[in-house]
A and B are shown apart, each in its own frame.
Chain A
Amino acid sequence: MRRGLIVAVAVCFGSADALADVIKLAPAGDPTLVSHVSVPTTGAVIRATNGDTEAAVQASAAYQHGNNGLALGLKVTGPISGSSSTPSNLASLDGLANSTTVELAATFMHWGVQSLFKNAIPIKMLCMKYLNRSGCGRSDLTTAEAQREFDKLVDYGHPFLLRLGGRVGYRSIDYLDSQTLAPLTTSGYQWGASAGAGLIIPSWGAFGVVYQRQHALTPQDQSVVCTPLAPVGALGCSKNSVGAPVTTNTNLLTAEARVFVGWVALDPSVTVDPSRRITAVTIPFYFLKSEAGGFIAGVSPSWRSDTKELNAVMFVGGSLSLLPAGLGP
């Protein structure tokens, strides 16, 4: 089993005042910028292993009208060290991880919720019963019994979101010709498209599913190639891809949950490549909070079934929120 330590640093920033306001009021929903079922938020992240370092920067804008919201995100992701000809050490099934890609994503969110007006009198009676005043909030009630009674009078709704994303990149791969062992380079465009849906469940967290289609330029498996060194019979050996790269079309299915358990948070996801029967699991675990109260740091172990590769990501940055940016006050 291969183990590595990835250190990730995420930094959230806002640009225009309006966007900064949005970010302030509804903090980043995905500090690691990898979720396909969260609303795009503005931020940056670096993920690194011993062999590879990957960076992502995303700008976003969000709009709200009534119960509906729309967020747009433009993200640039790419390797900033490591060879583009070798498979990424990052334990994901992202076939485009070895090239710089640009992704445009749009997320629509709807939260339909009713006024408490129709239950104003029962709520008033409940407030009088427990607090001896005519108005109150759930948080004012100090007993579980009172809060249960209160919740029976309130419909919190179930916000849901739909996300569509498109991604394109360009990759160059160095390889050796399979007949002559001459060094060659092939370049080409790669692309990916994703569609996801998520549901927010009050008192529990959130759940989402994503389908991704990726068209990638993939190098052949690496081999150790030894060639004679002049003038005597010594050999020089190196690890190279032998044979021209191939284009692959991959379908990926991901299920992701966001669970708040007391004062910690989990954001596990499972991605499956059905045709190759490969599974990748990532479990971001948030346990550090900012002064403002949001989850900002933690550790994220990840594992994939084919390589048995286990990595651990440490990250700090924008807050993890139950609810994505752009739909706050």
Chain B
Amino acid sequence: MPSNFEVAVGGNALIRMFIDDSPLVINAGTASANLSPGEYVLSWVVLGAPGDTYSIEITKPATAAWKTAVTIDTAGKDAGIHWVEI
């Protein structure tokens, strides 16, 4: 079944992403899942050196389009959540 939720991931930091409690496997800069209609939590945890970057962009569905791009500060870490409506 084709996925209805896709995320493009870039940058040079180490990142783990989840949709609710399920890990999103990142393959060649893209992670995807097939989700039932409803509200989900996209979350991520990032480690890297100061100056490393990462970006996360929801490319599918178009109605949930969203993007963040971050340069990691001297803390060497980042994390966040984004609520997604499918």
Contact = CB atoms under 8 A, between A and B. Distances in A.
Interface of A: 18, 21, 24-27, 66-67, 111, 113, 115-118, 120, 123-124, 127, 134-140, 147, 150, 154-157, 159, 200, 202-205, 260, 262-263, 265, 289, 292-295, 319-323, 327-329
A203 to B, nearest CB: 5
B81 A135 contact: yes
A66 B20 contact: no
B1 interface: no
A211 B49 CA distance: 26
A147 B75 contact: yes
Given A25-B11, A66-B23, A159-B14, A154 B49 contact: no
A120 B44 CA distance: 11
Given A137-B68, A150-B79, A202-B77, 10 more contacts: A115-B23, A116-B45, A123-B81, A134-B83, A138-B78, A138-B80, A139-B70, A156-B77, A159-B47, A294-B12
B26 interface: yes
Contacts of A157: 45
A323 B79 contact: no
Given A293-B71, A329-B11, A116 B47 contact: no
B47 A329 contact: no
B33 to A, nearest CB: 13
A127 to B, nearest CB: 8
A124 B83 CA distance: 9
The B interface, classified by DSSP as helix, strand, loop or mixed, is strand
A26 B12 contact: yes
B67 interface: no
A282 B61 CA distance: 52
Given A116-B81, A154-B79, A159-B47, A293 B52 contact: yes
Given A113-B16, A117-B43, A321-B12, A138 B77 contact: yes
Interface string B48-79: 11111110000000000000101111111111
Given A115-B18, A156-B47, A323-B13, A137 B79 contact: yes
A137 B70 contact: yes
A21 B29 contact: yes
A116 B12 CA distance: 22
23 contacts: A26-B14, A111-B16, A116-B43, A116-B80, A117-B20, A117-B43, A123-B81, A127-B81, A139-B70, A156-B79, A200-B47, A202-B75, A203-B76, A204-B76, A205-B76, A262-B74, A294-B51, A295-B51, A321-B48, A327-B14, A328-B15, A329-B11, A329-B54
Contact of A24 (B9, B12, B52): B12
A135 B83 contact: yes
Nearest 3 interchain pairs by C-beta: A137-B80, A293-B51, A115-B18
A269 B16 CA distance: 30
Contact of A295 (B10, B49, B68): B49
A21 B27 CA distance: 11
B14 A116 contact: no
Interface in B30-50: 41, 43-45, 47-50
A156 B80 CA distance: 11
Given A157-B45, A263-B51, A328-B12, A25 B29 contact: yes
Contacts of A118: 21
Contacts of B70: 137, 139
A147 B78 CA distance: 10
A27 B72 CA distance: 15
A307 B13 CA distance: 40
Nearest to A329: B9
A240 to B, nearest CB: 48
A190 B16 CA distance: 42
